[in-house]
Structure 1
Amino acid sequence: MKNLFVLFLTFTLLLTSCSSSNDDQTPPDYENKPVGEFIDNWSFRVFPKLGDNFDLAEFKLWVPESTNNLKAVLILCNYSNGGSFGWLNLEEWKNFAKTEKLALMAINVKTTTADGFYTDAKGGSGDALLKALDTITYKNNLTHVSKLPFLMKGYSAGGVFSYYFSDFKPERVIAFVNIRGGAVGLTASGNSNIPGLMLLGENDAISRNQNMAGVVLSKRNEGGAFSYAIEPDVDHFGNLGSSWELARDFFSAALSKRLTDGTNELNIIPENSGWLGNNATKEIFSFNEFPNPTKEGSWLIDEAFAQKWKAYQTK
């Protein structure tokens, strides 16, 4: 009988111990963990928080020698789960940044197991970009750079991120270019006045092209500053050279019209000051001379860019 009592007492204590151990467990302290860690002086890795839509978020900043008169930060985004750090070594982007007085930021963001996908900038990836820029510029005594507005250029999923970032922080985006990023849907009207360029490949998936053109036409129905162009004989994985060249022309025009010296506030470009392109024939017209309903045409920021929009599609 005594042995049975001892056995019962031991079993009870064991159960109590297990229960107490489970009760004492606390969830990870997501709120007080570090924001991230430096990879090097110009690269920062942001740690995901509970519910963020990314598992890896790394950002690298490049600035020209003179940083006192920088106008904007150009964000370079690559395909799905693919980084763009290597683009910071390309002379074509560094030369463009020097000419237009820009900083460059490349991203390496991946989603593997988290809820959602990082292309939705509102799901955590957009905040990660802002945190990384703030942290890198603070470390390098360039806090004024963290307040600059953005140009957003992305290919494939990177283009989708660029588009959705313009909806996440419309007050920060001068203009964006989405190259062959078809997983887009209609956003609220907050980004309709942001010059947006969707670049399609003629031989890309039909669904991608329909989505991108559909967004543009929906935004144009609101009077939005959106356009699309179709590069001939190119599929999803075709060479990006012509698209990058047109993107740079687009950004140069947007910088001249959206920025005012001495302020980071962005101008809204009057719709009727632009040009319009016929998406079927590729003909271009000044706004008031467009022969069809204006909402049916791609909105082109000025005559010079309209000529380049046409040439891109008729080469």
Structure 2
Amino acid sequence: MPDRSDNEGKTLAFGKYYEAAIAPVGSASNGAASYRLWIPDGVQTIRGLIVKQHGCGDPAAVTGLEHANDLQWQALALKHQLALVGIKLPTGYPLCTDEAIRDRVTEQAFLKALPALAKESHHSELDQVPWIFWGHSGGADWGMQMLRHYPERVIAVVNMRCGGILNTSGESEILDLEPESAATMLGVPVLWAVGGKDPHVEECVDLPKQIFSKYRSANAAWTIAIEPNAQHESGNSRFLAIPYLDAILSMRLMRGSQLHPIDPTQGWLGNPNTYEVAAINQYQGNPLQAAWLPNQPEAKQTRLFQPTLVYLQTDR
């Protein structure tokens, strides 16, 4: 693998890499972050950005930048003419602290990185394109915060474990949104992949279920999936996340980078108790208690991720 210590566009897997480092503001060490961007060869205009954010702590941060090197995610980006970015947050970065939520430092660093990466890659549109947020653990919490702040710019959100909506004090809370932002946010597809044996039960199991139930009852285009034997690791969740996003992208980015709204009255529903999946117009249960899906899951997905609240039902 080529050295990526500089910002030259190194070619690997039919694409180029670019890096940017955001320095902290003043004496605050927690404002720093590093970013690695991958752009597929042959893409003249980027239509969107897949943002992959690791969770809390050093072990997760060590491989944060390598999210941009993942070949399966690169294939998704190439298909839809997207860029892919991995993020590394340094030791002590308050991704999962009250300060991060109150001061929004992760958000500020990300917004600073976009024009830097746009300049480095010679893709000025990168600073304007819509986003997909994939986050693990605390990174999932951050993705939901970004959805709350920028619903008009988010294509979809995928939460690998956790993914609560947090108030400004840092406490978990199921928020009542302001009317002007609620309609936009409810139309952004969100997928949770919950570990059934996750030790962080309150934050990473119970809270996602509660949030899903609350907003799905308001007809949000949201999905939750429980992998019964998984703990806090990401596990096999890519086999759900990538096909799910592939379908969402085909619906939302039909022309250029303009976002098309999701109609939650169209699509498929999964029964959280019987695991049955049916088209909305053929669904027998209460549709606002079922998980919404953009299309019919493939047989291999159903085997791996039986729809408990909608797919993940596999022995590991």
TM-score by length of 2: 0.77
User: Are 1:96 and 2:76 an aligned pair?
Assistant: yes
- Tell me the CA shift for residue 305 of structure 1: 6.4
Matches within 5 A, 1:266-281: 266-281=259-274
Q: Distance in 1 between matches of 2:264 and 2:27?
A: 39
Letter of the structure 1 residue corresponding to residue 271 of structure 2: N
Gaps of 5+ in 2: 9-17, 166-172
C-alpha change, 1:171 and 1:182, in structure 2 (3 Å) is: closer
C-alpha change, 1:268 and 1:53, in structure 2 (3 Å) is: farther
Counterpart of 1:11 in structure 2 is: none
Letter of the structure 2 residue corresponding to residue 216 of structure 1: F
Q: Distance in 2 between matches of 1:297 and 1:267?
A: 23
- Tell me the CA shift for residue 178 of structure 1: 0.1
- Tell me the CA shift for residue 167 of structure 1: 1.2
User: Are 1:163 and 2:159 an aligned pair?
Assistant: no
- CA-based RMSD of the aligned residues comes to 2.7
C-alpha change, 1:271 and 1:247, in structure 2 (3 Å) is: same
**SS where residue 162 of structure 1 aligns?**
helix
Tell me which of 94, 116, 124 is aligned to 2:98: 116
User: Are 1:314 and 2:295 an aligned pair?
Assistant: no
Counterpart of 1:77 in structure 2 is: 53
Tell me which of 21, 43, 46 is aligned to 2:19: 43
**SS where residue 40 of structure 2 aligns?**
coil
**SS where residue 312 of structure 2 aligns?**
helix
How many residues are treated as equivalent by the alignment? 274
Matches within 5 A, 1:135-174: 135-174=116-155
Which range is displaced more, 272-281 or 209-218?
A: 272-281
Counterpart of 1:19 in structure 2 is: none
Gaps of 5+ in 1: 1-37
C-alpha change, 1:88 and 1:302, in structure 2 (3 Å) is: same
Letter of the structure 2 residue corresponding to residue 211 of structure 1: L
Equivalent residues of 1:77, 1:159 under 8 A apart: yes
- Tell me the CA shift for residue 290 of structure 1: 2.5
C-alpha change, 1:181 and 1:305, in structure 2 (3 Å) is: farther
**SS where residue 83 of structure 2 aligns?**
strand
User: Are 1:235 and 2:261 an aligned pair?
Assistant: no
User: Are 1:212 and 2:208 an aligned pair?
Assistant: yes
**SS where residue 154 of structure 1 aligns?**
strand
Letter of the structure 1 residue corresponding to residue 189 of structure 2: P
C-alpha change, 1:135 and 1:233, in structure 2 (3 Å) is: same
Tell me which of 79, 83, 86 is aligned to 1:106: 86
Q: Distance in 2 between matches of 1:255 and 1:177?
A: 13
Equivalent residues of 1:284, 1:310 under 8 A apart: no
Equivalent residues of 1:53, 1:116 under 8 A apart: no
- Tell me the CA shift for residue 100 of structure 1: 2.8
Taking every aligned residue pair, what percent have the same amino acid on both sides? 24
Matches within 5 A, 1:182-261: 183-184=164-165, 185-187=173-175, 188=177, 189=182, 190-205=184-199, 206-207=201-202, 208-237=204-233, 240=235, 242-261=236-255
CA offsets 1:176-221 (integer angstroms, 9 cap, x no match): 1001125544342242110000000111133121111111111112
Letter of the structure 1 residue corresponding to residue 238 of structure 2: W
TM-score by length of 1: 0.78
- Tell me the CA shift for residue 113 of structure 1: 7.2
Structure with the higher fraction of residues in helix conformation: 1
- Tell me the CA shift for residue 69 of structure 1: 4.2
Q: Distance in 1 between matches of 2:30 and 2:216?
A: 32
- Tell me the CA shift for residue 117 of structure 1: 4.5
**SS where residue 66 of structure 1 aligns?**
coil
- Tell me the CA shift for residue 51 of structure 1: 11
Q: Distance in 1 between matches of 2:47 and 2:35?
A: 20
Q: Distance in 1 between matches of 2:113 and 2:102?
A: 14
**Larger-gyration structure (1/2):** 1
